[in-house]
Amino acid sequence: MPAIKDVAQRAGVSVATVSRVLNQHPSVRADTRERVLAAVADLGYRPNAVARSLRTDQTRALGLVISDVLNPFFTELARSVEDAARDLGYSVVIGNADERPELQDHHVRTLMDRRIDGLLISPTDGGSPMMLDAARTGTPMVFVDRWIEDESLASVPVVRTDGRDAIRDLVAHLHALGHRRLAIIAGPAATTTGRERVDAFRAALREFGLTLDDGHIGQGDFQADSGRRVTARFLDLPRPPDAIFAADNLMALGAMDEIRARGLRVPGDIALAAFDDIPWFVHTDPPITAIAQPTGELGHAAVRALVDLVEGRPAESVTLSARLVTRRSCGEPEGSKP
């Protein structure tokens, strides 16, 4: 693999001149430029990004640590992040934390070791040591989707979706269809989205004169299995809920598994709704009512904020809003009753 000195030699110039040509520095005579470019083409030379990074102290790479790649919400997020970053001339290195704090820490550490220019992170837990460290040492950092409530992290911008209104709409929808005993499969209490969705759900219930039983809050971990387990607990109750709201799409999948395994039917026996909409919800039996986040915009906004930080501009937090997409899993839509 040819290095810059090979190009210099072949073009009969110094490495400095080659470097200037490569970085479109103006003070190179046109014919010299030609010669250098010709040598570059002949040798198939490509600058070594590792060496360049060492010298310039920037890698033009961003780190993205997400909680679970297998969750369609996060893969869509990852995709939009990569798109936005590429447009701005950055690469993205993805780390999958699998909802495990120690894995999250591993990835943050590896990314920092590789000296990525900035970190986009959707924390799995209450804040791992490496992450606090990264924030403290001034690594540009942006939280996406979830964030950490810690005063030492107060300056880290948060790009997220506020599901409050959509959740209220969902509760209204359920209420209108006659459901009164509503339950929620919550995310981990350590995550902000975990808590927030429960809070919003509880507040909305209150608005409709309902209360959220302690027995109707199940602790999940955003994985399908936990949705199954919690749903089993709900269904074993003497008076089971008549509607279940899963705080993410994987737990909704688990819930469906369990409901189906017991020979019950959605929405006849029990209604089901989920946070996060995915293409498959159209084709499930029945199609699932869900709260959709503007995932693409979320990714773009997050990258914009992070790159602002990286390039020395101030960055702001962004809050987008989610919307309810009603389908048939909570009962027949209002207008369509016979």
Partner DNA sequence: ATCCTCCGTGTAATCGATTCCACGAGGAGG
Partner DNA sequence: CCTCCTCGTGGAATCGATTACACGGAGGAT
Judged by CB, which is closer to DNA: 50, or 237? 50
- Piece of 86-94, 197-205, 236-244, 298-306 that binds its own copies (CB under 8 A): 86-94
> Considering only CA atoms, which of 327, 333, 329, 325 is closest in space to residue 169?
325
Residues 197-256 that bind its own copies (CB under 8 A): 224, 253, 256
Quote the least distance from Cβ 225 to DNA, whole Å. 41
Q: Which two tokens stand for residue 43?
A: 């040798």
336 binds its own copies (CB under 8 A): no
Judged by CB, which is closer to its own copies: 194, or 286? 286
Contacts of 289 (CB under 8 A, 6+ apart): 170, 173, 272, 273, 274, 324, 325, 326, 327, 328, 329, 330
110 binds its own copies (CB under 8 A): yes
Choose among its own copies, DNA, none what residue 82 binds, the Cβ cut-off being 5 to 8 Å by kind: its own copies
For residues 202 and 212, the answer to whether their CB atoms sit within 8 Å is yes
317 binds its own copies (CB under 8 A): no
Q: Which two tokens stand for residue 2?
A: 């040819």
For residues 327 and 159, the answer to whether their CB atoms sit within 8 Å is no
Choose among DNA, its own copies, none what residue 93 binds, the Cβ cut-off being 5 to 8 Å by kind: its own copies
Q: What is the dihedral of CA 81, 87, 91, 95, to 10 degrees?
A: 0
CB atoms within 10 A of CB 112: 17
Binding pattern for the stretch 176-205 against its own copies, x by CB under 8 A and - elsewhere: ------------------------------
At residue 114, φ and ψ (nearest 5 deg) are -85, 5
Choose among its own copies, DNA, none what residue 19 binds, the Cβ cut-off being 5 to 8 Å by kind: DNA
For residues 89 and 60, the answer to whether their CB atoms sit within 8 Å is yes
Q: How far apart are CA 148 and CA 122, in angstroms?
A: 9
Quote the least distance from Cβ 172 to its own copies, whole Å. 26
Contacts with its own copies by CB under 8 A: the residue count is 46
Q: How far apart are CA 115 and CA 133, in angstroms?
A: 14
Choose among its own copies, DNA, none what residue 94 binds, the Cβ cut-off being 5 to 8 Å by kind: its own copies
Residues forming contacts to its own copies in the complex (CB under 8 A) are 1, 44, 46-51, 53-54, 59, 61, 69-70, 72, 75-76, 78-79, 82, 86, 91, 93-94, 96, 106, 109-110, 112-115, 133, 137, 224, 253, 256-257, 260, 279-280, 282-286
